[in-house]
Amino acid sequence: MSKKIVVSGGLGFIGSHVVVELQNEGYEVIIIDNLSNSSKEVLKGITEITGIEPVFEEFDLRDKIYVSDFFKKHSAIEGVIHFAASKAVGESVQLPLLYYENNLASLIYLLQELEQLPTANFIFSSSCTVYGQADELPITEAAPTKTAESPYGNTKQIGEEIIRDTAKVSKKLNAIALRYFNPIGAHESSKIGELPIGTPQNLVPFITQTGIGIREQLSVFGDDYPTQDGTCIRDYIHVVDLAKAHVAALKRLIEKNNSESYEVFNIGTGKGSSVLEVIHAFEEVSGQKLNYKIVDRREGDITAAYADTTKANQVLGWKSQYTLKDALLSAWNWEKKIRS
């Protein structure tokens, strides 16, 4: 019998790609999503790719009674992968209480329900923002977490602390926090991808929207950083690679191969690319010349962040497969498809 996995925020950018990989591996998936930053259309894309329509429950995880009712209704759940959270750094500065409520209350209510299950396997969607500007590059899991630059980043740090403290005393909870670097790209079928509502918060959707003519110009925030070309460096990982890391982490917990009740893994490519390198790589794969201009630095931006992925490679047996150009081409194909 296939194992039941709950994916909260499963119609979002990363969540939807994880649902596809889980279904491809034979898991039975139940999606929870309140559609605040996603679309029911994504369900159609997932179904077309995998040939299986996952169970979908539309509600808000901040509603404790709904969360409790959900777990009464669905039994024999083997694991929960938790994505549902607000994730725009700039917005979190403007709306801190919304971010603390949405990102922490939902996590607490889920963990309270997991405590009632016979076994509880939990994967948390964390972020490299917990490291801030690391003292050394590449960043290992042993790097200290820094004071968060935003309420969003702080919710990831506090979220990890809540899970760690719960796992320490729980007889049932086994958890893995995956600290992502910068997910980009789309499924090769172009049936699911990144769908930012309003102005994109991330570089690549801004690039593809500029490439296709929706945005007149792309702003590059600063060219005076101490890097090779003066622009910020990040570790851009293909979303499908990232999705496969979730499956590897889940398998580790289900098969009881974890060495501690709470573990942390960096998920990236191990390679840093500057903003200008990403722009030029996009121009190469798309054949589109981008209209971009250098503007002032943006508050809160760090100079460089890229992962040391040794732990994930060796312990999870996972490694990124796709290149930056692969990811950018898939993002471009997705952009063209949704605008056609």
CA torsion through residues 217, 222, 225, 230, sign:
positive
- CA angle (149 as vertex; 201, 281 as ends), nearest 5: 40
260 phi and psi, to 5 degrees? -140, 165
Element housing 79 (H / E): strand 77-82
Q: Are 156 and 126 in contact (CB under 8 A)?
A: yes
Residue 292 a catalytic site member: no
Grouping H, G, I as helix, E, B as strand and the rest as coil, residue 7 is strand
The residue behind tokens 């607490």 is 108
- For the four alpha carbons of 29, 35, 36 and 42, in that order, the dihedral sign comes to positive
State the Cα angle at 311 between 306 and 317, rounded to 5°.
Answer: 115
Catalytic residue from among 27, 99, 109, 152? 152
Q: Which helix (H) or strand (E) holds 155?
A: helix 151-169
Residues belonging to the active site: 152
